[in-house]
Amino acid sequence: MGALGRIILVCTSMVITMPLSALPGSAADLSDPDQPVSTEARINAAWDVSISPFYAWVPGVNGRMGVFGQPPVKIDITPIDIIKNIDEFIDVLEGVYIGGGQITRGNLGFMWDIIYFDIRAVDQIGGDFVGGTLDVGFSATTGTLAGTYRVHESDRSHFDVLAGARITDVDLKVGVDLGLIDEISVSDGDTWIDPIIGVRGRTDLTERTYVDGWAMIGGFGVQSDFLWDVYGVVGYEFSDWLSAYAGYRGSGTDYRNGAFIWDITKYGPILGFELKFRRTERRRPGKAAVFPEPQMGA
């Protein structure tokens, strides 16, 4: 497999995460102990933070990618194909970052999801008399930010609706150095922003196990013709603030701008862990206090 072929497979196939962390502070409890605060008042003033600082996603890929005005390249790879060639993919990986989470207070909140990766491969080209190097680099960034509104909440479950935007940036560079002349370098790519809408929710199955997920659609012809993203996991809580989960994620985008085509669907298993924090405020006229409190649910 040539360098460009490997780059296309890697850039559309493998996402490995790096840490993202946030820890809320705390303050002394200054509230009047003679005037108890109701459970409802405490919940309404709580800041609930759920962060996935690390998870791995190794998806299969199906679709087409068109660059440099050439006919689109068809891609069809299964998750098993990626796992079998994992060493080759890691060798060309230059940098990667992914993080996500959600913060809510009462019924309002926001969620985010960020993916960045940068890969590069260098191959020797030519023969015995004329030779050189082919340098191929690819970087892609996808960032999703959405506001959320809680339409249902009980002791065991919650359900949110969401609306926001997703930005995608794709950059491909190819350089050829034959040694006799200056290096020839060309690049292609694009940046676009799509509106998104969707739902997300969680249900506790037992005291320690739960299911969590989201479903989003977007694009609507604003820039992408259409995009979708579905995520579902089963998790286990080791403590009030730490849980691990495994599940499945699929995501697809159909975007075209002139000769540049990004019509890609990714699907495959995910594995990771989540940190949870709650910052609760007690309020009285003329008095205020903040104290941290662990939370069982997300």
pLDDT value, residue 23 = 33
Q: Which amino acid is at 235?
A: G
Q: And the tokens for 55?
A: 């998870």
Give the residues of the chain that fall short of pLDDT 50: 2-39, 41-42, 283-294, 296-298
Identify whether 297 is part of a domain: no
Identify whether 42 is part of a domain: yes
pLDDT value, residue 122 = 80
pLDDT value, residue 77 = 85
- The model's pTM is 0.76
pLDDT value, residue 133 = 81
Phi-psi map region of 106: left, alpha, beta (phi>0 left; psi -120 to 50 alpha): left
Phi-psi map region of 50: left, alpha, beta (phi>0 left; psi -120 to 50 alpha): beta
**End-to-end alpha-carbon separation of the chain, Å?**
44
pLDDT value, residue 180 = 67
Identify whether 22 is part of a domain: yes
Residue 116's CATH number: 2.40.128
Q: What are phi and psi of 3, to 5 degrees?
A: -65, -45
Identify whether 298 is part of a domain: no
Domain that holds residue 118: 3-292
Q: Please tell me whether residue 179 adopts helix, strand or coil conformation.
A: coil
Separation of alpha carbons 104 and 150, rounded Å: 9
CA 137 to each of CA 93, 148, 250: distance values in angstroms, whole numbers, following the listed order: 10, 36, 25
Separation of alpha carbons 165 and 191, rounded Å: 13
* Cβ atoms of 269 and 246 closer than 8 Å: yes
Helix count (H) and strand count (E) of the chain? 4, 14
Residue 31: which residues within 8 A CB-CB, separation 6 or more? 37, 282, 284, 287, 288, 289
Identify whether 239 is part of a domain: yes
pLDDT value, residue 296 = 46
Positive or negative CA dihedral for 259, 166, 62, 135?
A: positive
Q: How many domains, the chain?
A: 1
